[in-house]
Amino acid sequence: MNLRPLTVILGLICTAGVACASGAQIQLVPQTSVSVADQRSTVTINTTVFTPSGGLVPDGTQVTFSASGGATLRDTVVTTVQGRARAVLVAPGVAGTSVVTATAPAYGAVSTTEIEFFSDRSLLDSAKEYIEVYAPGSMSYGPQTKVIMASAPDHGVHLRYREISIEADDLQLEVRTYELRAKHAHVKMGKQEFETTDLYLKLNARKGYAYGHFSGPTVVGIKPYGPWFKAVVEQRDHFGFAGITSAGFHVPEANVSEEDVFTFKSLSDEESTVIQAKKAIAFPRKEVQFQDAVLTVGGAKAMKLALYRDSMGGSAGITDQIVSVNDNHLSVNYPYYLTLKPGEMSLLRFRTGQSYGRGIGSTNRVSLDYELNWNKGDNMDGGFIFSGLARKDWNIQLRQYLRFKDDTTLYANLEIPAAKGLFGTTSLNRQFKGFGVSLGANANQTLHGPRFDNKQVALNIETDPIKTGKFPARLYWGMQASYNQSTNDVTGTHSENGAGLEIRSQLLPQHLDKNSTFNMGVRVLRTFAGTQQPLVMTASASVTRSINRNANILLTYDYNNDGFNSRLVGMHSVNLNANLDVGKFHFSGYALRSLDADRLTYFFDSSYRFGARWSLMYSHTFSEFLGERSLEYYPTLAYDIGGRQIGLTWSNRTKRFGIQLLGAPLN
């Protein structure tokens, strides 16, 4: 390897400052990362704001929230209690991903998280599914491609997924897509059981191709047919290339190539970090768990762990998740797993120098946490976290989700920060014939220090979608009631309540042309009792434009006149999402602008690879709200080393150069 470029960048890094840089950080933890796009379901966003020293910001610190993708927020400006603030996100009417942005203007901190909304609940069930693979011979996994390769003679590789079990000599599983390829396999699928030399199977669809015995139409002769002749066709057994489903074998489609479906995909582009293990449990929408894992980098063993897991989000290397250097600041996130199996996971986690927001700074907080998570498919999911063991600012969190049959769900969350306060959230949803009912409540109660108490209760009853003739929209109507009360030592007690009738309409997505889609939703609430504004109206209109498969733009206009949030952030706002990939150049950005209030947030990331190993990156974040503004940007020069990147960055906030290594956001 040519070491001259490496020598150059190491020389530059040696001139960089060596003091640790840190900044205020916002940690966003959503109640769930997936939900249903029904304009009814809610997701609670738990937010913790840290000072540059790693402590919690003072009570009363303002945190502003925004959301894209048609999702709405019940409160867009929330004040912290014990460093924490909560926002409730209401699902959009169409499937997609919503980016939730939180900003602490007084500290110049910005952070984002993503919530994926599915068109129906059946797609949510797949988020809980898992695929179990055991290989006593050899098994390897690529963290970037998310592909498992396994081999063992005499049908030694074992795979299990729901009612499907497969034993094979060689196996390749593309975790994200559920695509399985195998050689010399014994397959059990429902009532079927067969042997095949080659197998391709889309596990979640129970469809694929194999070599096996099947019955198909066969020409056995001809017979006179008037002045002509016609073929005599009979159903006969064959052995050969066939399509397979849970119902049995069938004649494959004419345009299907055996070579295309059976050939193992090449992993030559995989990064140098590979996980080797005896057993893997893959949750295709969430993570892959490993037992007896060995992490290799460039073919050399780097670490051995009894239990480990890799997130399906992103393509960061395994060592990046444990240790990184971020603007000269060492960050460690080391999990020691106590149990790791379907339905249960417990661990001790050591953390220091964590970076939660978009900036390159990190907190100086050192923490040892205990985590316990449990689930039983889509019917139950819960967790217990005791963070900050032996710290004065420790925190206990308990959460539980329950699904009763298919028509009732319950979610509850409780936090106790250092015995100084109580934070509770609960929501109950019940679907009846023709309508649904949702009841949600949030409560914050300080136990020591200045008083900051808040209680919120909301009841919503709404019909199922009603067709509007030939007009491409769905109509909903219902009743809504809410009660809000806040108490603090400065302003005393303030309450607001109301009840009324609600009507809303959701346009079905309209294709303006083959690359553009328009969508719109309107909600009107007329209150008849309480202190709320008599007429509340919200609307959202968006246009999605796919320029090509490498570039797309989403432009959204939001109108909100609720008498509360609109006083702070305005009634009119627009937001823009853009993504672009052209050759060696990549760009992604987001912008939100209130048209009648002092609020502006935008950020973007770009990168350009100008050599086989050299890259230039740039990240930019700006936020302004009611006179408070912050700006952070940093260019980075990076060099690839064996599948990793080492970079030299400059931050306008610290006014100095810094080192980025491993965990830096350089791709």
What percent of the chain lies above the pLDDT cut of 90? 23
pLDDT at 574 over 90: yes
Q: What is the pLDDT of residue 647?
A: 86
∠ Cα 15 20 24 (to 5°): 130
pLDDT at 237: 63
Q: How far apart are CA 380 and CA 409, in angstroms?
A: 10
Most confident by average pLDDT, 89-98, 307-316, 601-610:
601-610
Least confident segment among 120-129, 257-266, 464-473: 120-129
Q: Is the pLDDT of residue 141 over 70?
A: yes
Band (569; pLDDT cuts 50, 70, 90): confident
pLDDT score of 603 more than 50? yes
pLDDT level of residue 527 (50, 70, 90 thresholds):
confident
DSSP strand pairing (628-641 vs 644-651): antiparallel
Euclidean distance between CA atoms 372 and 23, whole angstroms? 30
Residues 6+ apart with CB under 8 A from 324: 330, 331, 661, 662, 663, 664
Strands 273-276 and 300-311: unpaired
Got the DSSP string for 309-369?
EEESSS---HHHHHEEEETTEEEEEEEEEEEEETTEEEEEEEEES---SSSS-----EEEE
Residue 318 pLDDT greater than 60, yes or no: no
Residue 45, pLDDT > 80, answer yes
* pLDDT given at position 368: 94
pLDDT band at 6, cuts 50/70/90? very low
At residue 21 the predicted structure's pLDDT band, cuts being 50, 70 and 90, is: very low
266 has a pLDDT exceeding 80: no
Average pLDDT (129-145) is 86
- pLDDT tier, 9 (very low <50, low <70, confident <90, very high otherwise): very low
Q: Give the pLDDT confidence score for residue 216 in this predicted structure.
A: 53
The whole-number pLDDT of residue 667 equals 34
Contacts with 340 (C-beta within 8 Å, 6 or more apart), sequence order: 289, 291, 307, 308, 309, 347
8 Å CB contact between 480 and 499: yes
Q: Which residue has the higher pLDDT, 266 or 542?
A: 542
Q: What per-residue confidence (pLDDT) applies to 15? A: 43
Summarize the confidence of residues 379-408 as an average pLDDT: 88
At residue 204, what are phi and psi to the nearest 5 degrees? Answer: -75, -15
- At 275 the three-state DSSP class reads strand
**Is the pLDDT reported for residue 50 higher than 80?**
yes
Q: The pTM is what?
A: 0.72
CB contact at 8 A, 50 and 359: no
Query: What is the rounded average pLDDT of the residues 452-469?
Result: 88
Tens of pLDDT, residues 229-259:
676 666 666 667 888 887 777 777 767 778 7
Average pLDDT along the chain: 82
**How far apart are alpha carbons 233 and 217 in whole angstroms?**
6
State pLDDT tens for residues 613-649: 899 999 999 999 888 888 989 899 988 775 567 888 8
pLDDT at position 439 is: 92
Tens digit of pLDDT for each residue in 419-443? 888 889 898 989 898 898 989 898 8
Q: What pLDDT score was predicted for residue 138?
A: 86
Amino acid at 217: P
Q: Which of 638, 633, 56 is nearest to 359 (CA)?
A: 633
Neighbours of 548 (CB within 10 A): 10
Residues comprising the chain, all counted? 667
Q: Residue 461: how many CB atoms within 10 A of its CB?
A: 17
More confident residue, 316 or 623: 623
- pLDDT score of 317: 45
Instruction: Specify the pLDDT at position 459.
Output: 92
Q: What is the mean pLDDT of residues 61-65?
A: 90
- The residue among 18, 632, 620, 640 whose CA lies nearest residue 329 is 18
Report how far residue 175's alpha carbon sits from residue 203's, in angstroms, rounded to the nearest whole number.
Answer: 10
Sheet with 96-104, side-by-side order of all strands: 34-36, 109-118, 96-104, 62-67, 77-79
Q: How far is CA 277 from the centre of its chain?
A: 26
Q: Residue 478: its pLDDT value, please?
A: 93
Confidence of residue 17 (pLDDT cuts 50, 70, 90): very low
Question: Torsions phi, psi of 271, nearest 5?
Answer: -70, 170
Q: What is the pLDDT of residue 147?
A: 92
Which pLDDT score is estimated for 13?
41
Residues whose CB falls within 8 Å of the CB of residue 635, separated by 6 or more in sequence, listed in order: 616, 617, 618, 649, 650
Listed in sequence order, the residues at least 6 apart from 102 whose beta carbon sits closer than 8 Å to its beta carbon are 26, 28, 45, 47, 63, 64, 65, 85, 87, 110, 111, 112
659 pLDDT tier (thresholds 50, 70, 90): confident
Output the pLDDT for position 78. 87
Q: Which residue has the higher pLDDT, 230 or 339?
A: 339
Lowest mean pLDDT among 144-148, 264-268, 546-550: 264-268
**pLDDT tens digits, 268-291:** 554 567 889 888 988 887 788 888
The pLDDT of residue 315 is 43
Q: For the segment 75-104, what is each residue's pLDDT rounded down to a tens digit?
A: 888 888 888 888 888 888 777 888 899 998
Residue 284 in 3-state DSSP? coil
Q: CA-CA distance, 200 to 182, in Å (whole number)?
A: 7
β-pairing verdict for 628-641 and 614-625: antiparallel
Main-chain phi, psi angles of 364, to 5 degrees = -90, 10
